[in-house]
């Protein structure tokens, strides 16, 4: 989808054509779903969050500033929605779950599927703010500037969080036997 096509769909949605939103959902559902999935770790929760993001996006489309990319706006909602979901979930987590120590595993060759699972579990041990920068930078390949816009923090903060997050994730995975 070109930028012009995207703007045309957005304009049609704003004029009340509900169906014009469908190509936008189809274009961005995969990255938004994946951002939510990496943030919350559960496919069903990620699907609910993605649905909520798009419904909110539709109802708030009049507030979207077309000078910026639509995906930045959607990512921002996806990250915020995920963080809110995690806060809500945390309220109901038991103390035991909250402080559970990561399982320390012997260093070993791990296949792709298990490695992906370990990475996701490692991510889940980081604070959501750190997780968010890693997700946007490494899984979605956003620039510092784009991450800064999505998270609404200065680029300097993005760099600082990213560097710390990488080091933390490296340490977490190392404890799980992945070096």
Partner 1 sequence: MEDRYLQLIHQELDGVNSPEEHAALGAYLEAHPEARQLYDELAALSDRLKGVPMEEAPADLTYRVMTAIARPQKSPAAARSWLPSVLEDLRAWKWRYALSFSAGLAMGFIVLVVALDTTDNTAFLRGVMGLKGDVSGFVDTDAEAITLGSVQGNVHVASSPDFLRIEVQLEAAREVEFRIGYDSTALAFCGMRLSDSEDTSVLRLQAGEIQISRARKGRYLLILRGQTDRLQPLHFLILDGQALLYDGMLQTGRNR
CB of 2 to partner 1, least distance (A): 20
Binding partner 1 (rule: CB under 8 A), the pick from 8, 12, 34, 177 is 34
Q: Is the dihedral of CA 21, 26, 31, 34 positive or negative?
A: positive
Contacts 24+ apart (CB under 8 A), 40-46: 40/82, 40/85, 40/86, 40/89, 41/120, 41/121, 41/123, 41/124, 45/85
What's the CA gap between 26 and 92, in Å, rounded?
A: 34
Binder among 8, 12, 41, 58 for partner 1 (CB under 8 A): 58
How many residues interact with partner 1 (rule CB under 8 A)? 44
Query: Residue 59 interacts with partner 1 (CB under 8 A)?
Result: yes
Binding flag, residue 18, partner 1 (CB under 8 A):
yes
Residues 41 and 38: their CA atoms lie apart, in Å, by 5
Residues in touch with partner 1 (CB under 8 A): 18-19, 21-22, 25-26, 29-34, 37, 43, 47, 50-52, 54-55, 58-59, 112, 115-116, 119-120, 134, 137-139, 141, 144, 159, 162-163, 166-167, 169-170, 173-174, 178-179
């Amino acid at each position: 989808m070109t930028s012009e096509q995207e703007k045309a769909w957005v304009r049609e949605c704003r004029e009340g054509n509900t169906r014009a939103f469908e190509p936008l959902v189809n274009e961005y559902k995969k990255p938004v779903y994946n951002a939510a999935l990496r943030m919350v770790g559960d496919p069903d929760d990620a699907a609910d969050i993605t649905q909520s993001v798009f419904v909110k996006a539709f109802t708030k489309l009049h507030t979207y500033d077309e000078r910026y990319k639509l995906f930045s706006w959607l990512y921002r909602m996806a990250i915020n929605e995920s963080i809110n979901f995690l806060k809500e979930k945390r309220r109901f987590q038991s103390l035991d779950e909250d402080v559970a120590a990561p399982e320390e595993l012997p260093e070993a060759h791990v296949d792709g599927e298990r490695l992906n699972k370990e990475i996701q579990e490692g991510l889940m041990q980081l604070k959501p703010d750190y997780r968010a920068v890693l997700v946007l930078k490494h899984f979605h390949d956003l620039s510092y500037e784009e991450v800064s816009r999505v998270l609404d923090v200065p680029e300097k903060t993005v760099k600082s969080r990213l560097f710390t997050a990488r080091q933390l994730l490296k340490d977490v995975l190392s404890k799980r036997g992945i070096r």
